[in-house]
Structure 1
Amino acid sequence: MDKAIPRKNRKFRYLTIAIGVFLVLSTILFFSFNSKRSLNVKADELSIQKVETDFFEDFVVFQAKVEPLNVMLVNVTEGGSVKEIFVENGAMVTKGQSLARLYNPNTELNYLTQETAIIEQINNLNTGKLNIRNQELNMTKDYVLIEHDYNDAKRLYDMNSKLFEKDVISKNDWNTFKESLRFQEERKKTIQQSIQKEKQSNQLQISQINRSIQTMEKSLEILRNNKKNFLITAPESGRLTSFEPVLGKTFQAGASIGKIDSKKGYKLAAEVDEFYLEKIREGLKGQVEFKGKTLEVLVTKVIPEVKSGRFTVELAFTSKEEIVLQDGLSFGVKLVLSERNKILVLSKGVFNQETGGKWIFVVKGNKAERRNIKLGRENPSYYEVLDGLKEGESVITSSYTDYKDIEELSINNPQ
C-alpha cells in the first residue's frame, strides 16, 4: 500500500525569500544614501592654496581714460548741410576762428523774406513820421499868414484909433477896424492852441514810431546775425577734437559738431562695476603709474546711474607738478577702499564662480572634503575669510565646474 507524502508549505518559502531580498536592498539603499558622493581627481589638475593671515588692503583696480578738465562743445545753431570746411580735426584753434560753413536754402530764403518785410515796415514808419512833420510845417505856414493878417489889423486899428479920436473917420468905420482886430486875435489864439495840441500829439506819435523803428531795427540785426550762424566758429581757444564734418552732410540745429579742449587741465573717467557702487565715494585716494612715477589721484565725482552693469567715476590728479598728458590715454587706477590691516585671507580663484563663496573643498592628506564657509571683502589678490576656515588649512581654489554635486575628492599623487 502506497504511503502519502505531505507537501511542503510554499508560502513560507516565498516569504523567507522576499524578506531576504528586502534586507539586501535596504542595506544597499542605506549605504548608498549615507555614503559621500566622491570623485577621483589628479593633483596636477588642481590649484591648492593655504589659508593665511596677511595684510589685507581693500582696493579696486580699473582702467580710466584721460579727458580734458574743461571741454566746450561746438554746436550747430542753424541746421544745414556742410558747404565749406576750414580746419581739420586735432588742430589748435583760437576763439572766433571759422571752422566750417553750413548752407540751408530754405532758411536763407525765409531770412530774406523776413528781412524784406522788416525793411518795408521801417520805411512805412519813416513815411508816417515825414507826414506828421509835413502837417506841422503846413500849420506853421498857416500861422505865419494868420499872424500877418493880425499885424495888419492891429496896425489899422492903432492908426484909425487916433483918427477916430479926432473925428476924422466915422464910428461905423472905427467899429469895422475894431471888429477886424478882434477877429484876427481870436483867429490867432485859436490857431496857436491848435498848433500846440497838434505838436503834443505829434510828439507822442513820433515817440511811438521811433520805438517801433528801434524794435524793427533790433529784429533786423538779430535776423542778420542769425544769417551769420551758418558760419560755425570756435567758442573758445584750444585743441579741436571730435570734429569730423563731411561736405554735404546735414546737421540739425543744436547738434554737436565737435569739442574744444581748452588745455586747462585733465581728469580721469572710468566705468566701474556696479559691485563697487556702495564702496566708492568722493574723496577716496588712488594711484596711477606714469612714466615710472606714481601719481596720486582723488575721486571727485561719482555718477550713480548704472548702465550695462557699470557706473561712472571721475578722478583728478592731486600733484601740483604740471603733467603733460594726451586726451584718450589710458591708465590703470588702484583705488584704496579701506586701511591696510592683518586678517585671515584666502588667495583668489575661480572656485568662487561656482560656489558664490559659500563652500569650498578643504584638503586633508589625499582627500578633499566639502565645507561651508563665509567670505567677506575682496581685492584683486585675496578674499577675506569670515568663517569656516582656519589659518594653515589647504583649500582647492581652481574651477569647481565638474565638482558641483561632489562631497569628497580623492586626490591621486597629492602634492
Structure 2
Amino acid sequence: MDTIIKSKSNKKKYVLIALPIILIVGYVVFTSATKKRSLTIKRNEISIKSVEDNYFEDFMSFQAKAVPLNSMLINIIEGGSVQEIFVENGDEVSKGQPLAKLYNPNSELAYMQQETAIIEQINNLNKAKLDLRNQELNLSKDLIAIEHDYLDAKNLYDLNKNLFEQEILAKSEWNKTKENFRFQQERMGIIKQSVSKEKQANLVQIGQFNQSIGVMNKSLEILRTNKKNFLVTAPLSGRLSSFEPILGKNYPQNSTIGIIDDRKGYKLVADVDEFYLDRISEKQKGTVIFDNKNIEVQITKVIPEIKNGRFLVELDFISKEKLDLKQGLSFGVKLNLSEKTKTIVVSKGSFNEETNGKWIFVVKGNQAERRAIKLGRENPLYYEVLEGLKPGEKVITSSYKDYKQVEVLNLE
C-alpha cells in the first residue's frame, strides 16, 4: 500500500505569513508600553514660574491683633439685680468710679443682722470690762479702809507700848493691844496679796476682752465694707470694654460684667498653626508694618496648649517709640526663623499638594516633562530646591490634581 507524504512547503508558507504579524503586534505592544503618557492642556490655564538663584529667608507670617498690655475683669462680689447703671461701654473711667449699683434685699438684711449681733457682743465685752474695773475699785476702797485700821492699831500699839514700859498700862490691856495690831497687820498683808492677784487676773482678762473687741471691730469694718460691694466700682483707670449690664437682671456672686483696659501699652496676640510649635520660642524677633514703617516685635510668651490645631503666641513691641495703636488692630507678623542664605528656590504653588516635593513638570518649549526633585525648607514665598532643578528653568507651579498619572504635558 502506498504512503502519502505531506509537502513541507505548506509549513514554510504558514511561518512566512505569521512572522510579520507577530513582529508587528510585538512592536505595537512595545511602543504602547514604553510610550510616555501625555495630555494636552492650554498654557493660559496653568501657572509657570522660573527657578531662581536667590536669597532664601526662613521666615513665617501670621496675623496678630493688638490687645492692651494689662486688663482687669470687673467682677460682682455680691450678687444682686442691677438697680442703676452710671457709665456706658467704651467710656474712660477712673479708679474707684461707680459703674453700676446692685440691689439684694436678702443680703442687706443678713448684713444688718450680723452687724447688730457684732455690736451687741462688743457692748457685752465692754460691760464685762467695766464690771472688772468696778470690782478693782471696790477692792481698792476696802484696802484703804484696812490700811486705815492697821494705822490705828499701830498708833495704839506704839502708845500703849510706852505706857506699859512705864508700868502705867495694865498687862491685860497691853496684850489686847498687841493682838489687835498683829491681826490688823496680817489682815492687811493678806488683802494686799489678794488685791494684787486679782488685778493681775483682771489685767489678763481685760487684755483678752480687748483682743476680742479688736477682732470684732475688724469684722464689723469688713462687714460694712462688704455692704459697699453692692456699688460696683472701677478697679483701675482705663477704658471699659465688654460692659453690658442690663437693668433689673440678676447677676450671681463673682460673675464678670466687663473688662477695664489700662491703655498704658499694647501687645500682640496671635493664633498660630500647630505645625510651627517646635520652631517658635521666646525672644524670637520679627517685624510688623505700621504707618508704612517696619516695627520690630519680639515673642514674649508661647502657650503650647493646642486648640483646634492652633496655639497662642504673645509678642511685645521692641521699639520704645510711642505708637498710636487701637485695640483690635490687625497686623501681619513676619517672624524670622533663620538668617538669609543664597540657594536655588522655586515659587510656592499648589503643585506640592500632589507631589509632596518629589517631582515637578519642567517646561521646555511647548512641552512640560515630569522630573524628580528634592525640596528643603519653605517660607510663605519659596521652596528651597536641594536637587533636580537649575536656575533659569521654568516649571509649572499650579495644581497637578488632573495630571497625577501624566508624564508629558503638551502646551497649546
TM range (shorter): 0.7 to 0.9
For 1:363, give the aligned amino acid: V
Q: Partner residue of 1:312?
A: 312
Question: TM-score, structure 2 length as denominator?
Answer: 0.84
Q: Distance in 1 between matches of 2:367 and 2:152?
A: 144
Q: Partner residue of 2:44?
A: 44
Q: Partner residue of 1:300?
A: 300
Q: Partner residue of 1:180?
A: 180
| Structure 1 position 203, deviation (Å) | 1.0
Structure 2 CA distance for partners of 1:354 and 1:215, relative to 1, 3 Å? same
Q: How does 1:232-243 map to 2 (within 5 A)?
A: 232-243=232-243
For 1:147, give the aligned amino acid: E
- Per mean C-alpha deviation after superposition, the further-off stretch among 202-211 and 23-32 is 23-32
Q: Distance in 1 between matches of 2:85 and 2:29?
A: 85
2:367 corresponds to 1:370: no
* Deviation digits for residues 122-166 of structure 1 (CA, Å, limit 9, x no counterpart): 222222212211221222222233233333433444444455455
2:103 corresponds to 1:91: no
Q: Partner residue of 2:7?
A: none
Q: Distance in 2 between matches of 1:150 and 1:287?
A: 99
Q: Distance in 2 between matches of 1:29 and 1:105?
A: 97
Q: How does 1:287-366 map to 2 (within 5 A)?
A: 287-366=287-366
RMSD: 3.2
- Per mean C-alpha deviation after superposition, the further-off stretch among 155-164 and 141-150 is 155-164
| Structure 1 position 195, deviation (Å) | 0.8
For 2:277, give the aligned amino acid: L
| Structure 1 position 28, deviation (Å) | 7.7
Q: Partner residue of 1:267?
A: 267
- Per mean C-alpha deviation after superposition, the further-off stretch among 177-186 and 360-369 is 360-369
Q: Partner residue of 1:230?
A: 230
Structure 2 CA distance for partners of 1:197 and 1:37, relative to 1, 3 Å? same
| Structure 1 position 198, deviation (Å) | 0.9
Structure 2 CA distance for partners of 1:162 and 1:50, relative to 1, 3 Å? closer
User: Which residues of structure 2 form unaligned runs of 5+?
Assistant: 5-14, 16-20
Q: Distance in 1 between matches of 2:296 and 2:222?
A: 50
Structure 2 CA distance for partners of 1:408 and 1:249, relative to 1, 3 Å? farther
2:120 corresponds to 1:120: yes
- Per mean C-alpha deviation after superposition, the further-off stretch among 88-97 and 249-258 is 249-258
Question: TM-score, structure 1 length as denominator?
Answer: 0.84
Q: Partner residue of 1:195?
A: 195
For 1:233, give the aligned amino acid: T
For 2:176, give the aligned amino acid: T
Q: Distance in 2 between matches of 1:93 and 1:217?
A: 33
Q: Secondary structure at the match of 1:316?
A: strand
Q: Distance in 2 between matches of 1:352 and 1:84?
A: 61
Structure 2 CA distance for partners of 1:104 and 1:53, relative to 1, 3 Å? same
Q: Partner residue of 1:71?
A: 71
User: Which residues of structure 1 form unaligned runs of 5+?
Assistant: 6-15
| Structure 1 position 117, deviation (Å) | 2.7
* Deviation digits for residues 254-286 of structure 1 (CA, Å, limit 9, x no counterpart): 444333332322222222222333333334433
For 1:387, give the aligned amino acid: E
